[in-house]
Amino acid sequence: MEKKNIYLALLILGTAFWGISFSVTKLAIGTNQSALFLCYRFALATIVLSIVFWKHVKNLNLTSIKTGAILGIPLVLGIYLQTLGITHTSASQCSFVAGITVVIIPLLKLVFYKKTASLKIWLAAFTALIGLFVISINDKFNIGIGDLYTIAGAFCFAVYLIQIEKESKAGDIIPTIVPMFATCSILVFLLALGQGNISWVPAQNTFWIGVVFCALFSTAYMYTISNISQKYISAERVSIIYLFEPIFGAIAAHFILGENISSRLLIGGGLVFAATLVSELNLNWRMLNARPILGMLRNKR
């Protein structure tokens, strides 16, 4: 099996972890501050990854530390804003709105890098956008504060994915992973300090279960696989694969939190899933088959 296909499978598994993490995070935060939860989440992920990548940690240089720190800024902003989003809306809706990253990436690449994505990526992106519109906009055509936080986080996450794609193609991305999460840990710790009135050791078991799950599976595992996979898969395609996340998120929210799966969620989710299929279909054969037909038409003239 090609490395690309292996990483595709690993990414889809990771989206299941991410989808579940929306419900786990909502349960874990409770009355606690979002920054405190993320502080422990990133700290534990940094420790675990320092052990896993100890060989690279021992040989860290200034370039890897600097690159990791730069990558950590949009990542932590994206996750922090989406965590705020979870506190103001349902876990299932937040997970679907987060998928707007798939539209933002090709737009940012077009504006800042003058790089145009393929037609099928644009088709997939706007199919996903329609799906997200169906899910997010209520009957009065208003959008909630939780959705706004989540969309802002999606912009930050799009910047992060584009930077990861650039760095992974320039060289080995693995040495930057631990510095990246260490930077995230420091930044959310400073956020937690600034919020005040925090119980630094919450008594709720759900808080610590959430920290462990999110640190190991939706942070350490998923972001490591994501970073390495972008050596073989473009940022646009990775973001479309991530659209499996809200599907898993809606299922998890139903069983863990008892959230209802509305018709709007099903219709929007179906469009999001269709976008994923479009991005992975090979449409070249249609163009190839069209050429003989176009030739015959020209000859008739």
pLDDT tens for residues 223-270? 788 777 877 777 767 777 777 777 788 788 888 888 776 777 778 777
Mean pLDDT rounded to a whole number for the chain: 79
Closest CA to 261 of 79, 95, 139, 14: 95
Which single residue is written with the structure tokens 């997200």? Answer: 132
The single-letter code of the amino acid at 57 is V
Q: How confident is the model at residue 32 (pLDDT cuts 50, 70, 90)?
A: low
Confidence of residue 297 (pLDDT cuts 50, 70, 90): very low
Task: Summarize pLDDT for 39-66 with one digit per residue, the tens.
Answer: 999 999 999 999 988 988 988 999 999 9
Provide the whole-model pTM: 0.76
User: What stretch of H or E contains 268?
Assistant: helix 263-280
Contact 19, 246 (CB under 8 A): yes
Q: What pLDDT sits at residue 7?
A: 80
With contact defined as beta carbons under 8 Å apart, do 188 and 76 qualify? yes
- Report helix, strand or coil for 211: helix
Neighbours of 287 (CB within 10 A): 9
**Which is higher by pLDDT, 246 or 209?**
209
Q: How far apart are the first and last CA of the chain?
A: 48
Give the H or E element holding residue 164: helix 145-170
The string of DSSP codes covering 100-120 is: GHHHHHHHHHHHHH--PPPHH
Closest listed residue to residue 41, CA positions, set 164, 158, 181: 181
User: What contacts 134, CB < 8 A, 6 or more positions away?
Assistant: 264, 267, 268, 271
Would residue 90 be called left, alpha or beta, if left means φ above 0 and alpha means ψ between -120 and 50 degrees? beta
